């Protein structure tokens, strides 16, 4: 196995960032009709999936810093999509919970299916099925390693 140069090392991350960033911009545009930003959607969806969680946990899972996520959460609370509930373990903190209005919003978005490749395009459509499966395996492996390294 050869030595990876610093430039090549960075290239892999930059390429992944470019692919995701391009997709994310298109996804954000598709959410505008629902009156929600991409980061707000990610948070509301995460709160639904987890059944409630702390702001710190949400920030970690979404790969955001806590001050940025605080602003996102504040807007979601103002819109009525999520609610704050005092933590049973720590009086100083709170949990984010999905509201009925948030559930309805996510249901509307899911029904519309705005993230389908037919709507957003698919940067991976140039890969054959075997290549795509191998890419998925490699990304899963790298994601597990990232959890170990950056926890």
Same domain, residue pair 110 and 149: no
Alpha-carbon distance values, 117 to 24, 64, 85, 114, 123 (Å):
13, 26, 37, 9, 9
Q: Provide the pLDDT for residue 6.
A: 59
Same domain, residue pair 115 and 127: no
- Compare 94 and 35 and report the one with higher pLDDT: 35
Query: What domain count does the chain have?
Result: 2
Q: pLDDT of 96-122, one tens digit each?
A: 999 999 999 999 999 999 999 998 999
Q: Provide the pLDDT for residue 2.
A: 56
Kindly report the pTM of this predicted structure: 0.84
Q: pLDDT of 8-54, one tens digit each?
A: 677 888 999 999 999 999 999 999 999 999 999 999 999 999 988 99
> For residue 107, is it within any domain?
yes
Same domain, residue pair 68 and 140: no
């Amino acid at each position: 196995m050869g030595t990876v140069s610093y430039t090549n090392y960075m290239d892999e991350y930059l390429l992944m960032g470019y692919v995701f960033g391009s997709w994310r911009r298109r996804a954000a545009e598709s959410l505008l009709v629902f009156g929600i930003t991409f980061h707000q959607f990610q948070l509301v969806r995460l709160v639904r999936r987890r059944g409630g969680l702390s702001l710190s946990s949400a920030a970690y899972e979404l790969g955001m810093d806590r001050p940025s996520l605080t602003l996102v959460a504040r807007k979601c609370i103002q819109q009525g999509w999520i609610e704050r509930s005092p933590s049973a373990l720590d009086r100083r903190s709170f949990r984010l919970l999905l509201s009925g209005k948030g559930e309805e919003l996510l249901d509307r978005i899911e029904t519309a299916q705005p993230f389908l490749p037919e709507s957003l395009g698919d940067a991976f459509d140039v890969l054959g099925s075997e290549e795509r499966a191998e890419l998925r395996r490699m990304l899963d492996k790298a994601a597990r390693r990232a959890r170990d390294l950056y926890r």
